[in-house]
Chain A
Amino acid sequence: MADKRKQKILIADDSEMNRSILADMLGDDYDIIEAENGKEAVALLQKQAAQIDLVLLDIVMPEMDGFGVLREMNDFRWIENTPVIMISAESAPARVQQAYELGITDFISRPFDAVVVHHRVVNTLLLYAKQKKLMNMVADQVLEKEKQSALMIDILSHIVEFRNGESGQHVLHIRTLTELMLKHINQMTDRYNFSKSDIALISTAAAIHDVGKIAIPGEILNKPGRLTNEEFAVMKTHSQVGASMLEALPVHKDEPLVRRAYEICRWHHERYDGRGYPDGLKGDEIPISAQVVALADVYDALTSERVYKKAIPHEKAVQMILNGECGQFNPLLMDCLRELEGNIQEAMASNEIRDWNDPNMLRNLTEELMQREELSASDRTLQLLEHERMKYQFFADMSQEVQFEYTVSPPAVMISEWGAKHLGLDEIIRDPHHDPAVLASMGADSMEKLAGLLARSTPEKPIVDFDSVIRIGGGERWMKIIARATWSKDEPPVYTGAIGKAIDIHETRVKMAALEEMAAHDTMTGLYNHKFAKMRIQDMMARKPESNFALGIFDVDHFKQANDTYGHMFGDQVLIHMAKTLKRNMREGTVSARVGGDEFLLFFEYREHVDLAINRIFNSLIGTYESFPISVSMGVAKTQMLGTDYDTLFHAADQALYAAKRGGRGQFRFYDGDSCETLSLISPIDGDTQEEADTDAEKRSGGEDAGCE
């Protein structure tokens, strides 16, 4: 190895003695890291698989045994680049066999022999170092080769173009249009299912569709005005000539690119109705690649200026093609062109310049290379990745946030070190949807909801957030989870996982709840205020429109007198006393509120005998406070009679209250519909200005409904 970095060896063995013996045997030539069980080993691999050059793995370990580690290494595909030597006294052939099947490179049995251990380690490392180096070389060469061959094609097609006197962009346009159409066809039908590499191959091959024109004499090729029949016959040979040139290639003629190019060269002047040339193929006898390029060629010929014609505007060109003025095309392709109509010009414009030094271009190519299974990432990429990971981990640790990464396949979630510790979970959790620790922490409902939100996101709107209660160390806390779904670059995109974080919002949330609670209550009595009571009542009625409800309003008789005689402080004490008495005597589910100076409201659902219920509450409110005799007047309205409009109910109860007062106070009345009084007795809080009714007689009303007089 050229670099001076010490090779890193991970020793996973539950016995500290055994790890130590191995470490000593390997000496100072290696950078040794240790894991005392399988889970630790996997966690270390998760963090730095790219840096670990070799794993020495024991079989029998707590938490997760050596076979478990091997399975993880297979699932995450670390085993492809990180060799494993199994170390164990386990020498049962079936177990050894199983270990080899899981991808181990070698097996060392106990007792360790220093020389054997050393040799096996060195050999394995050498073998893999060579392999890694080769892979890097292949990767770099493929990159170089692709770059060069695309360059060659560009040069070649440019020569053809140049000789044709065509606009400099013809080849590029055809390539772009072909690519655009192939992608769109994939969306229209399952019939062809062009893979990414098919599309790349066809659109690259499209660039040399007119290579045969090299053999056409310049005076014909560049003749302004119409060709004679003879000249046209010569011109028409270019498709066959191009195909023959490719067929005659001494090497490479079986390469997929050349085979596609052959189809395209030979048949890009065929037409769907069989009236094209050179072979008069009909319908689907014409390869789809040639059909697509033919249409792209016609479109670009129409919209470009040539020696014999002016450029035709985009709309008109499309219309001419759709009208069949340039020969018949596959109806599917016509539909495709029609559907793409709006996108074509834009795509053409954005692709005018194609430059191999364009970093995006190289990046795309690199991405494509990375996706190829047979190639693994080159060292440079690994270093970049490692750098990113380091950066990520640093910020994750600093932020004191729970950060996570989720992959759909294999289903796994990785939690940042700090986050895992905070939640009391493992850093890597396989199959989190069925993991008891995760389910206990987050709850199955929240898990499902989050998974659903992510799966229903789109590549355009990949970010979701929602609040969830998370169990942390025996307590529960509100956390906001913000996650970004990751979508593949396929057509159509596939949901592959998510990254995200959970932020503790418990304090904020609790504070908000407290503020809401405060805003809903009358500060003096602790009862609801009128506004909030109204909301609650409307809500209750909306939930159970078929039920019977009663709304009562009462005030304290001679409250003004109490205020005047004993002062406002005393008056307040009376109100607090009333609120307490009311709360004590209410059935569960009753809404009570202070709605005015000394006016209170109560609202409840009943089945029958509402009069008895009202009577009970009414009586419970009578008594004395600090030798001040207390009685109330009350008006009651029922939804049974008035329906569920709040304002109607309130107004009716108010009227019944007025009637009760007029009837001599110290009584309750039900609103019975004979409205004859519209004067409201309800005063604003702290106001105390209404006229007192004129009699002090303490009449008690019975259960019968009393109308207002």
Chain B
Amino acid sequence: MTLQECYAALEGDYEGVMGRLRTERLVQKFVLKFLDDGSYNLLTSSMESGDYDEAFRAAHTIKGVGQNLSFNKLYESSHLLTEALRSKDIEAAAPLYEQVKADYAQTVDAIHAYQASL
């Protein structure tokens, strides 16, 4: 699997990220590093414990990282979740959280597949 195919699988913008980070080496480094990022765990634990301030910061971080790496699908859903949590709209946040979970799984699956082919 190429990095480009990985981006297609996670529904990201390969050209976009290459345009900004310039080298495939750098993109690869951070895509793999994404697997170690703790923000998602922080999001799930704080959503479950009802700590919405912490959840907001975690979603915000996922959004930022997603944006930097052009993981567009994950960026979109985490962006919506961030805004819902910012305005403390817990009702709206619940389905958005489910969407982020699904998108995160899709992203991580794609990266794992890419990692396995290296």
Contact = CB atoms under 8 A, between A and B. Distances in A.
A and B bind: yes
B64 A18 contact: yes
A25 B23 CA distance: 11
A25 B33 CA distance: 15
B65 A17 contact: yes
Interface string B47-63: 00000001001001101
A17 B63 contact: no
A89 interface: yes
B67 A60 contact: no
Contacts of A15: 37, 39, 61, 64-65
Contact of A111 (B34, B39, B70): B70
Contacts of B22: 114-115
Nearest to B70: A111
11 contacts: A14-B57, A18-B65, A24-B26, A25-B21, A60-B60, A89-B64, A110-B67, A111-B17, A111-B67, A111-B68, A112-B68
A21 B20 CA distance: 11
A112 B20 contact: yes
Interface residues of B, number: 25
Interface of A: 14-18, 20-21, 24-25, 60-62, 88-89, 110-115
Contacts of B70: 111
Contacts of A113: 19-20
A409 B60 CA distance: 36
B37 to A, nearest CB: 5
A88 B61 CA distance: 10
A17 B33 contact: yes
A-B pairs with lowest CB-CB distance, top 8: A113-B20, A111-B67, A15-B61, A110-B67, A111-B68, A17-B65, A60-B60, A114-B22
Contacts of A20: 30, 33
Given A62-B54, A89-B64, 14 more contacts: A15-B65, A17-B33, A17-B37, A17-B68, A18-B65, A21-B21, A21-B30, A21-B68, A24-B26, A60-B57, A61-B57, A111-B17, A111-B70, A112-B20
Given A21-B68, A113-B20, A14 B61 contact: yes
A115 B61 CA distance: 22
Nearest to B17: A111
A89 B63 CA distance: 9
Contacts of B54: 62
Interface of B: 16-17, 19-22, 26, 29-30, 33-34, 37-39, 54, 57, 60-61, 63-65, 67-70
A110 B68 contact: yes
A514 to B, nearest CB: 49
Contacts of B20: 111-115
A89 B67 contact: yes
Nearest to B26: A24
B107 to A, nearest CB: 13
Nearest to B20: A113
A16 B70 CA distance: 17
A602 B48 CA distance: 68
A165 B67 CA distance: 84
A24 B28 CA distance: 13
B60 A17 contact: no
Nearest to B13: A111
B48 to A, nearest CB: 18
Nearest to B61: A15
A17 B63 CA distance: 12
Identify which of B29, B54, B64, B65 gathers the most chain A CB atoms within 10 Å of its CB.
Answer: B64
Nearest to A61: B57
Nearest to B65: A17
Contacts of A111: 16-17, 20, 67-70
Contacts of B61: 14-15, 18, 60
Contacts of A25: 21
A434 B33 CA distance: 43
Contacts of A88: 64
Nearest to A15: B61
Contacts of B64: 15, 18, 88-89, 110
B33 A62 contact: no
Nearest to A117: B20
A15 B61 CA distance: 6
A631 B70 CA distance: 99
Identify which of A17, A61, A62, A89 gathers the most chain B CB atoms within 10 Å of its CB.
Answer: A17
Contact of A114 (B21, B29, B69): B21
Contacts of A21: 21, 30, 68
A105 to B, nearest CB: 21
Contacts of B60: 60, 89
A539 to B, nearest CB: 57
B14 to A, nearest CB: 13
A21 B66 CA distance: 12
Nearest to A116: B20
Contacts of B33: 17, 20
Nearest to B21: A114
B57 A62 contact: yes
Nearest to B29: A24
Contacts of B65: 15, 17-18
A119 to B, nearest CB: 13
Nearest to A113: B20
B118 to A, nearest CB: 20
B26 to A, nearest CB: 6
Nearest to A65: B57
Nearest to B86: A60
A17 B71 CA distance: 14
B19 A17 contact: no
A20 B30 CA distance: 9
Nearest to A88: B64
Nearest to A112: B68
B85 to A, nearest CB: 11
Identify which of A15, A16, A88, A89 gathers the most chain B CB atoms within 10 Å of its CB.
Answer: A15
